[in-house]
Structure 1
Amino acid sequence: MPSPPRSRCGRGWRFRDPDRRNLCMSGICGVVVRPGKCSAGLPQRLDAMSATLRHGGRAPSTWYDERHGVALARLHSVGGTQRSPQRSACGRYVLCLDGTLHTRTTLQREFATSAGAAEEDATLLLLSIAARGLQRTLNECDGDFALAVWDRQEHVLWLARDRVGARPLYYGWCRGDLLFGMGLASLHGYPGFQAPINRDALTLLLRFGYIPAPHSIQQGIFKVAAGCVVRLTLAVREAGALAHKDHAGGRRYWDAREEMRTAIEARAHLPLSTRDDAVERLELVLHQAVSRRSPQEGTAAAFLSGGTDSSLVTAVLQSQSMLPVDTFTVGFDDPRHDEADWADQVAARLGTRHTRHILRRSEAETLVAALPDIWCEPFADASQVPTLLASMLVAGRHRVVMTGDGGDELFHGHTAYQRAIRNAAWNERVPAPLRCLLRRWPAADPERARLGGWPALRSELSADSVEAHYLLRVSRWRDPARVVLQTTEPATVFTDRARWLDAGEPADRVQYLDFLMDLGNGILTKIDRAGAAQRLETRSPLLDPAVARFAWSLPGGLTFADGEHKWILKQLLSRHLPERLVYRPKMGFGPPVAAWLAGPLFPWANALLDEQRLCREGYFDAALVGRIWTEFCEGRRKWHTHLWPILMFQAWLERHRCAIA
């Protein structure tokens, strides 16, 4: 087998924006001026916000209504023809759209009046909105998008995100003016913008490695939640951020919990007589999903890690192409983290044109330095580094790249699921009085529970549900309010029983938590920002609604069978690859962070974690952070999982300090 093509980067990597300030921004932004406030200078204010959308000197399209103090902007699609902002034919609605529809064929059949109009997603959406309203339009649309609609008749601004959260959308207030954009950088560009750090949201960053919607790192700024629409009337805009907190994130137009309930109820009537029937059905819906996400012009590349999900998506994509598909992977110079050889073997078997790059320690510093610009608020999934590098490999050769994201969350792919289910079952056998006693006797230091022994056992025994056991699995800091000063950790779907899935088996319940939380807030945030930094669209066929409904309708014996996670995906993949490439240990895409922090990143981390600096800034318990940093440096504890979220916040704060009140 010939050696796969390799890339060289080292210090030779060049980001698309020379000063890196605008790497993460593309898409839409806008402002609605406070009622009664003079709209003079509105074009200049929008221009300051939309400066973050410019790449290579290309100015965004804009639309103004100075009488009502409304201004919208959108960057033109790279290689696309979208002309948003657009007005509806009736003149009532103005749409600002970023992203892609995957159900445009249905809209075309119903609403297209000419071949020209049918070419643009924004035009089709406007026709649908004018005919049947925004809510029904969103109900019937699938895609990766964020949008804003100004209703000129009712003077209402609507903001919405796609069902799973593939695209971001922030909004909030600055001195009474309502701002929105696809990243905090657009809001930071508004003249005079400053907002304090949201300490409560900071605890969520330390627990999960991301800040889930509707929260953001700055007070008064919110994120539209996945599958939600926010209606900002005149009264809501006048009331401001404090009054909006209870309604932040928006109202659901698509509800994963209801979809899962319906699919679970349908299991008894699933028309599958054998396991082979289920695999056949999966193959059909996955082929359709890949086809819907393939670009109309040109070809799509694929991220290929060599794991089940990316290999299956690549196999289907290659089967639909007459020419070899371009695939890309990133490996590490640490064999304990490197899967590049597996990806090479999969690529050779599938016949793709493969490129790989081995990320070496010497390159980590350059890439990590760019993270606060690319992720516009602190984000602490360390696999963001190889994901960024993989996006850089694709950039310039393709506009669209397929990913395997969603397979774990839909097809029982995480080993943590089974651990949570097992521990919850064991817990039920422990006498209830003992469990109640342990819950009233909290651990002196919950973080030590991650190190094993009696603290870990007590922590597990104190959990009272499979949801609580799974929260222990996904938490970086188990009690982040101990290290963030002057704060209270907000409730999430993990702790709010009213939002739990009340159907199916324990496996369904933990997968629901992951789908609702980690997918849109974590995984898709990672790949979208990395791709956007390189003007690259990332698309995830496994998150197609038809694939998701099918996965949720499957009995557990088809997703976790004979001790094998993602059983049905592997059965389908076995039609394309030999078993030795399908049934192998999973390593993941995590970089050797501990080695980086002890090596090339040590000076950077040591400066950010300086105790005097932490005391001066006043966000963290400096003594506690200093202690775990010292223990890490002395090799006594593997605290890198706890340190990375703090480092990501510190690096972001250093870069964006001018926007902090």
Structure 2
Amino acid sequence: MCGIAGIFHCGTVKPVDPGRVARMCDVLAHRGPDGAGVWSAPGVALGHRRLSIIDIEGSPQPMLSPDERAAIVFNGEIYNYRELRRDLVALGEQFRTDGDTEVILAAWRRWGPDCVRRLDGMFAFAIYDQGERALFLARDRFGVKPLFMAHLADGSLAFASELKGLLAHPLLRREVDPLAIEDYMTWGYVPDHRSILKGVEKLPAAHTLMLRHDSAVPQPRRYWDISFADRHKGSERDLEAELLHRLKLGVSSRMVADVPLGAFLSGGVDSSTVVAMMAEEAREPVRTCSIGFDIASADETSYAERVAELFGTNHAARTVSADQFDAIDAIAGMFDEPFADASALPTWRVCQLARESVTVALSGDGADEALAGYRRQVFHAHEERVRAMIPQALREKALAPLGAAWPKADWLPRPLRFKSTLQSLAGTGPQGYARGLSVTPPEVRLGLYSEALSRQIGNYRGEALLIERMAGAPARSGLDAAQYADLTFWLPGDILTKVDRTSMAVSLEAREPLLDHHLVEFCARLPEGLRVKGGQGKWLLKKAMERYLPKDILYRPKQGFVTPIAEWFRGPLADKARGIAGPSALARTGWFDNARLAAVAEEHIAGRSDHGRLLWQLVMLDRSLARLGITG
């Protein structure tokens, strides 16, 4: 796991200052504290910060091919590198190291851009080929590893693992994209199709980009997609056995490391499944860690301890205060862009705990997206059945006004609020799912914008791309389309971003075995009734794991990390809630109606409404703007 950065001149060949790339890498030192290096040639420079995981002494970067034709900087892990190495040796390739980086170089030499299709892993890398005079950028299938790019005034393209790497370049403009504000207010993060700053892009997941000195920057090319269009044929028993087999392969392939390795263990289905598979594979007790909270309703440590005892793991647990609001600025610094998923706070804490004993930790992320584990997906499948029975014209005519008039019931779980349900049913399936997944609905956020920001945004709405993606998904049903949207939109933008930044902030490598792409492809073809049955998502996974885990672990309600932000803004953070209307970096931008922001804060503090999530969004936006040096 590492940090990478580089500069490449497009349309011409100009000298690149290696020191500038070194400074871009220096701010990424948390991603790679074990080594650093820069390589340059006319028109290009590549930089690297290394966290040593495999072949600790033998694979420094940037790395050159034996003929010095190609140079690579690589962030991630290739889990099938040993198999690829054997294939490449059979084709005549020779190797000087025992790591995966040289395997990517050899694969590039042998197969060119198609090499990415053979890589099983998480990665973002850059290869400069001196023969082709071209720079090749690639990102893994699900977007586990990030890659930011910026077009600069001197005609160059700069790239880095995090936005802060680009911010170290003096030519980067710090001008906010107003459409990114609409995206952020919709989702609570800036999705992968945009960046908070104009001129900055993210290479999309499952895409590559080939740059040449003698041509303009082309569009990225997709090399992989997940399809729900087909269904497995076979008995439930056979599919269950196949699922278990693929789970074991996904976990065992991610246990390769030359440093201490462990797992996050919450006591939920997904992390417990990973630990069960690890315990079966490992020769020594698995190292596990969990975070507990001093609020009983948010604490899952008893479940984690049961699983740890069941598999004889070397378990570490720590109870932390739910009052973690003193870490707001630290979180803003990790993410650079505004990020309002409050579970980032406890995720960072469990990463800190894990790093005390291991350098690599396996997580359970990905199963909810691949196997319909979110309540919203199951609820969407029910809604789609209702939509099929009522013509859309009638739903629009009857349900839309009823939803608008229905009182807001903040105290109920979101899927049970009749207002939200009526508003969702009034639209198409994709529109309804986008509304349910969004953090702040359009009628609320549009009412907060100033006239100036409203003019800049125009008719653009943050839900548009997700709706488009669902409508064009390779899917057979509404459930398929919802899972496709979660895998290609929500997962890279929110979940994987959260885990990458919080783990790398403490120089910990997080691996997601349940996102093995062969496993996910298998899950996408499961009959819908084996993903959701009797209102239970992840049904086949739970059924398969009954031989390993107690039923009260498998079938208890999903909990997840809980952060009491609503209470914070009525107590210790009340002043911060009031402060967003001024004086603050956010207030000075002129993007929002400050009088309305003040009213939102007072309504929440007085207990008349629950605006906790909205206030958290606004506070995190304010802190991110301050970190970026944007104050109006």
TM over 0.5: yes
Give the Cα separation in 1 of the matches to 2:37 and 2:470. Answer: 43
Alpha-carbon contact 1:361-1:596 (below 8 Å) kept = no
Provide the residue aligned with 2:228 in structure 1.
260
Provide the residue aligned with 2:292 in structure 1.
331
Q: Which amino acid aligns with 1:231?
A: M
Provide the residue aligned with 1:414 in structure 2.
374
Secondary structure of the 1:39 match is coil
**Residue 370 in structure 1 maps to residue 345 in structure 2:** no
Alpha-carbon contact 1:108-1:118 (below 8 Å) kept = no
Match of 1:147 among 118, 125, 130: 125
**1:465-480 alignment to 2 at 5 Å?**
466-479=429-442, 480=445
Provide the residue aligned with 2:251 in structure 1.
290
1:641, distance to aligned residue in structure 2 (A):
1.9
Distance verdict in 2 for CA 1:50–1:388, change over 3 Å: same
1:562, distance to aligned residue in structure 2 (A):
2.6
Q: Which amino acid aligns with 2:124?
A: A
Match of 2:544 among 556, 572, 590: 572
Distance verdict in 2 for CA 1:144–1:654, change over 3 Å: same
Q: Which amino acid aligns with 2:49?
A: L
Provide the residue aligned with 1:73 in structure 2.
47
**Residue 522 in structure 1 maps to residue 494 in structure 2:** yes
Alpha-carbon contact 1:304-1:311 (below 8 Å) kept = yes
Q: What whole-Å deviation, never above 9, does each CA across 1:209-264 have from its counterpart, x for those lacking one?
A: 22111211100000011111122334664x7xxxx7xx4xx2111112xx433xx2
Secondary structure of the 1:117 match is coil
Q: Taking every aligned residue pair, what percent have the same amino acid on both sides?
A: 30
Q: What whole-Å deviation, never above 9, does each CA across 1:417-467 have from its counterpart, x for those lacking one?
A: 121222232234335443344699798799959788775355124212x22
Task: Tell which deviates more after alignment, 636-645 or 309-318.
Answer: 636-645
Secondary structure of the 1:260 match is coil
Provide the residue aligned with 1:47 in structure 2.
22
Provide the residue aligned with 2:202 in structure 1.
223
Secondary structure of the 1:60 match is strand
**Residue 425 in structure 1 maps to residue 372 in structure 2:** no
**Residue 394 in structure 1 maps to residue 346 in structure 2:** no
Q: Which amino acid aligns with 2:127?
A: V
Give the Cα separation in 2 of the matches to 1:447 and 1:203. Answer: 25
Q: Which amino acid aligns with 1:76?
A: R
Distance verdict in 2 for CA 1:63–1:385, change over 3 Å: same
Match of 1:179 among 138, 146, 158: 158
TM-score, normalised by the number of residues in structure 2: 0.90
1:191, distance to aligned residue in structure 2 (A):
2.2
Give the Cα separation in 2 of the matches to 1:636 and 1:125. Answer: 58
Alpha-carbon contact 1:350-1:576 (below 8 Å) kept = no
Alpha-carbon contact 2:150-2:172 (below 8 Å) kept = no
Secondary structure of the 1:637 match is coil
**1:241-640 alignment to 2 at 5 Å?**
247=219, 250-256=220-226, 259-261=227-229, 264=230, 266-267=231-232, 270=233, 272-273=234-235, 275-362=236-323, 364-437=324-397, 455-456=419-420, 458-464=422-428, 466-479=429-442, 480-484=445-449, 485=453, 486-487=456-457, 488-489=460-461, 492-496=464-468, 500-610=472-582, 614-640=586-612
Task: Tell which deviates more after alignment, 566-575 or 79-88.
Answer: 79-88
Give the Cα separation in 2 of the matches to 1:231 and 1:445. Answer: 52
1:155, distance to aligned residue in structure 2 (A):
2.9
Provide the residue aligned with 1:103 in structure 2.
80
Task: Tell which deviates more after alignment, 595-604 or 640-649.
Answer: 595-604
**1:164-243 alignment to 2 at 5 Å?**
164-176=142-154, 177-234=156-213, 237=216
Q: Which amino acid aligns with 2:317?
A: R
Distance verdict in 2 for CA 1:286–1:447, change over 3 Å: farther
Task: Tell which deviates more after alignment, 136-145 or 109-118.
Answer: 109-118
Distance verdict in 2 for CA 1:47–1:253, change over 3 Å: same
Give the Cα separation in 1 of the matches to 2:305 and 2:516. Answer: 27
Number of residue-to-residue matches in the alignment? 612
Give the Cα separation in 2 of the matches to 1:368 and 1:535. Answer: 20
Secondary structure of the 2:283 match is coil
Give the Cα separation in 1 of the matches to 2:531 and 2:500. Answer: 27
Secondary structure of the 2:85 match is helix
Q: What whole-Å deviation, never above 9, does each CA across 1:529-579 have from its counterpart, x for those lacking one?
A: 111111111111111122112211211222212332211211222212222
Alpha-carbon contact 2:71-2:128 (below 8 Å) kept = yes
TM-score, normalised by the number of residues in structure 1: 0.86
Secondary structure of the 1:496 match is helix
1:180, distance to aligned residue in structure 2 (A):
0.4
Alpha-carbon contact 1:208-1:476 (below 8 Å) kept = yes
Q: Which amino acid aligns with 1:260?
A: F
Task: Tell which deviates more after alignment, 120-129 or 226-235.
Answer: 226-235
Q: What whole-Å deviation, never above 9, does each CA across 1:5-50 have from its counterpart, x for those lacking one?
A: xxxxxxxxxxxxxxxxxxxx9510011246568537x123222212
Task: Tell which deviates more after alignment, 553-562 or 606-615.
Answer: 606-615
Distance verdict in 2 for CA 1:142–1:563, change over 3 Å: same
Distance verdict in 2 for CA 1:430–1:358, change over 3 Å: same
1:115, distance to aligned residue in structure 2 (A):
8.3
1:503, distance to aligned residue in structure 2 (A):
3.0
Alpha-carbon contact 1:48-1:191 (below 8 Å) kept = no
Distance verdict in 2 for CA 1:220–1:628, change over 3 Å: same
Give the Cα separation in 2 of the matches to 1:561 and 1:626. Answer: 46
Secondary structure of the 2:228 match is helix
Alpha-carbon contact 1:28-1:97 (below 8 Å) kept = yes
Alpha-carbon contact 1:147-1:159 (below 8 Å) kept = yes
Alpha-carbon contact 2:404-2:423 (below 8 Å) kept = no
Give the Cα separation in 2 of the matches to 1:343 and 1:610. Answer: 44
Distance verdict in 2 for CA 1:498–1:357, change over 3 Å: closer
Q: Which amino acid aligns with 1:188?
A: L
Gaps of 5+ in 1: 1-24
Q: Which amino acid aligns with 1:304?
A: L
